Chains A and B, each alone.
Chain A
Amino acid sequence: MSALIEVDTVVAGYGENEILHGISLSLAEREIVTIIGPNGAGKSTLLKVVMGYLIPKSGTVRFKGKDVTRQRPDQRVRNGIAYVPQLDNVFPSLTVAENLRMGGYTLPRGRVAERIERVYAEFPILAERRGQRVRTLSGGQRQLLAMGRALMTEPEVLLLDEPSAALSPLMAGEVFAKVAEINAGGRAILIVEQEAARSLAISHRGYVVVDGHNAYDGPARTILDDEKVRAAFLGGPVPPRRPAAPAGDGAPPNG
């Protein structure tokens, strides 16, 4: 299977503060992959590297086989990647319609109106609120708008940073159902989540990231069912670490 996105031993961070110490990951066509791991493990940083907000110190990011490591985010959007940040993922002083129009900034002018109608069809609540400023929307509606904005370009890959953060369980369920629906339409999706169980439930594969290293990866089902992974990463006390799955980065000293 050809990989859409390949992250190869990326080392990255902010200034002196190195957060990712040689991390790798791949995302195939039509796949949903969830990245889980404790707070501060570097999950969001990893997503920023994939989107191009952060240029890695070493390692590469490939998109459809092409090296995009040094491309700017707006260039990656044109190539078919879309990104929904965790916070501040809408333009608050713009209307719902203007937010979507900005999502379609890279589209040829004639196609924007047609795409907006498609997004409205997919998210009826947005159609109702089209003239409203985003400031007046609820958290859940904003999250749907954020996804609608990202879908304007019909991206091949959608990157979601904690889509359920700060949402009620009911609303989070609605968001994940929408994510599964978007994936069924043929888009690959890479999710970073704290709320790991719900996200893994709709995913094909999962990665566990700890301290900026790959700690574990495998089918989402396995991660959900594996007692040790469950205990370590999905809540519960962290057991003393046994020599784990073969890791390419040397054994981390702590547990």
Chain B
Amino acid sequence: MLQVVIDGLIRTAELSLIAVGLTMVYGILRFGNFAHVEFATLGSFLVLPLAALGIAFPLAALLAIVATGLVGVLLDRAIFRRLRSAPPEMLMIASFALGIMIRESVRAIWGPSPYLYQLGVLRPIRIGDFGRITPIQIGIIVAAAVAILVFHALLSRTRLGTAMRATADNAPLAQASGINTERIIATVWLIGAGFGALGGVLVGLNTQVKADTGFALIVEVFAATILGGIGNPYGALLGAAIIGFAESISLAINWSPLLTWLGFEVRGFVFIPTGYKTAIPFAILILTLLVRPQGILGARR
């Protein structure tokens, strides 16, 4: 039981950090950035050369996150800024191409086989008879929680955060208030890509560092974003929590009573194979689009 909660929390941590950036960029530029999940991949890989230089892991991770954030700003300048007045479909296609470029560049540089962060062996902590948690897993949850709290404080308490919300609400009016909206857009890319990178580092910590880390999460991240209400950062957090726990719970459940009740003949326990995990966010995504396309916290347009 506890294991389900821990798995759900970790999944939520990873997904929410990546989804927040996706939803913020959408909130301001109004397009779904398919390349966004690749910031997770890029961030997780950029840690490797830094750690190889002997930089302590937390510092290496922080540097990789900042570097990825800057890559986000540069890519916006180089590509998306030229397409500001283009229709959203064009931006989406551009982002799709960019995603392939980032993913395959990572594969070309680091090769196809996965890496592990060298953190030494850490003893898992037993929590009663219910389950165990590793110090790394605690670190993942704490890092994500701290990042989200800092982000919330920025968004709700600071002048910059209010200007970010104002620009997402109404960019021309933000400009008429004297806000340099291009600078706000750059800040959103910096934070969004940086958070994506942190999400990728956390995935790397929990499992491996792979060239398709981000791409493997694309359905989960988009589902979380749309479920919560695309454009709303708090919605992305909520969506990530729902998707994260839906995955961990439905993988842990024995489905045989339900199937028997539905009239199927089943023997023994029935579990969803891990390989079908992606079906869960996909189902939630389709259900959301059918029932409440604006998402849980999304405003009707």
A residues in contact (CB < 8 Å) with B: 51, 53, 72-74, 77-78, 82-85, 88-94, 98, 101-103, 105-106, 109, 149-150, 152-153
Partner among A94, A109, A149, A153 whose Cβ is within 8 Å of the Cβ of B169: A94
Our pick among B169, B177, B178, B180 for the contact of A93 (Cβ within 8 Å) is B169
Report the bound CA distance from A149 to B162 in whole Å: 14
In contact, B172 and A85 (Cβ under 8 angstroms): yes
Chain B nearest CB from A53 CB (Å) reads 7
Q: Is the CB of A93 within 8 A of B165?
A: yes
Q: Nearest residue in A to B181 (C-beta to C-beta)?
A: A74
CB pair B176 A90 closer than 8 Å: no
Contact of A102 among B163, B180, B299 (CB under 8 A): B163
A101–B157 Cα distance when bound, in Å, is: 12
- CA of A205 to CA of B239 in the docked complex: distance in angstroms? 56
Given A74-B181, A101-B159, A105-B159, CB of A85 within 8 Å of CB of B176 = yes
Residues in chain A near residue B175, CB distance under 8 A: 53, 72-74, 77
B172 engages A102 (CB within 8 Å):
no
**Residues in B147-178 with C-beta less than 8 Å from chain A:** 159, 162-163, 165-166, 169-170, 172-178
Nearest CB of chain A from residue B46's CB, rounded to whole Å: 34
**9 intermolecular pairs with C-beta atoms under 8 Å apart:** A74-B179, A78-B178, A89-B173, A92-B170, A101-B162, A102-B177, A105-B179, A109-B159, A153-B178
Question: Which of A90, A98, A106, A109 contacts B162 (CB under 8 A)?
Answer: A98
Contact A77 B172, beta carbon cutoff 8 Å? no
Q: Told that A72-B180, A91-B169 touch, could you supply 16 new A-B pairs with CB distance under 8 A?
A: A51-B176, A53-B172, A73-B176, A74-B176, A74-B179, A77-B176, A85-B176, A88-B170, A91-B166, A91-B170, A92-B170, A94-B169, A102-B163, A103-B177, A106-B178, A152-B177
Q: Which residues of A contact B162 (CB under 8 A)?
A: 94, 98, 101-102
The CA-CA distance from A222 to B216 in the complex, in Å, is 71
Q: Which residues of A contact B165 (CB under 8 A)?
A: 91, 93-94, 98
Knowing A94-B162, A98-B162, say if A105 contacts B169 (CB, 8 Å).
Answer: no
Per the bound structure, the CA–CA distance linking A26 and B236 in Å amounts to 49
**What's the least CB distance linking B194 to chain A, in Å?**
24
Residues of A with C-beta under 8 A to B179: 74, 102, 105
The distance in angstroms between the C-alpha atoms of A149 and B299, with both chains bound, is 23
A92 touching B169 by the CB < 8 A rule?
Answer: yes
User: Which residues of B are interface residues toward A (Cβ below 8 A)?
Assistant: 159, 162-163, 165-166, 169-170, 172-181, 299
A78–B177 Cα gap in the complex (Å)?
A: 9
Are B173 and A77 interface neighbours, CB within 8 A? no
A51 to B162, CA, bound (A): 23
A246 to B174, CA, bound (A): 41
Contacts of A106 in B (CB 8 A): 177-178
Q: A53 — which chain B residues lie within 8 A by C-beta?
A: 172, 175
Instruction: Tell me the smallest distance from the CB of A76 to a CB of chain B, in Å.
Output: 9
Are A77 and B177 closer than 8 Å at their CB atoms? yes
Cβ-defined contact, B166 with A102, below 8 A = yes
Partner of B163, one of A89, A93, A105: A105
A232 to B189, CA, bound (A): 52
Within the complex, which residue of B159, B166, B178, B299 is in contact with A74, where a contact is CB–CB below 8 Å?
Answer: B178
Bound state CA distance, A93 and B170, in angstroms? 10
Nearest CB in chain B: distance from A84 CB, A: 8
Contacts of A51 in B (CB 8 A): 176
Contact B166 A94 (CB under 8 A): yes
Complex Cα distance, B117 from A236, in Å, reads 79
In the complex, chain A residues whose CB is within 8 Å of the CB of B178:
74, 77-78, 105-106, 153
Give the docked Cα–Cα distance between A94 and B178 (Å). Answer: 17
Cβ contacts under 8 Å, B176 to chain A: 51, 73-74, 77, 82-85, 150
Query: Bound complex: CA of A100 vs CA of B178, how far in Å?
Result: 12
How near does chain B come to A78, taking the closest CB pair, in angstroms? 6
Residues from chain B with Cβ under 8 Å of A73 in the complex: 172, 175-176
B173 adjacent to A91 (CB under 8 Å): yes
Contacts of B173 in A (CB 8 A): 85, 88-91
Question: B169 — which chain A residues lie within 8 A by C-beta?
Answer: 91-94
Task: Report the minimal beta-carbon distance from B162 to chain A, rounded to whole angstroms.
Answer: 5
Measured CB to CB, the nearest residue on chain B to A103 is B177
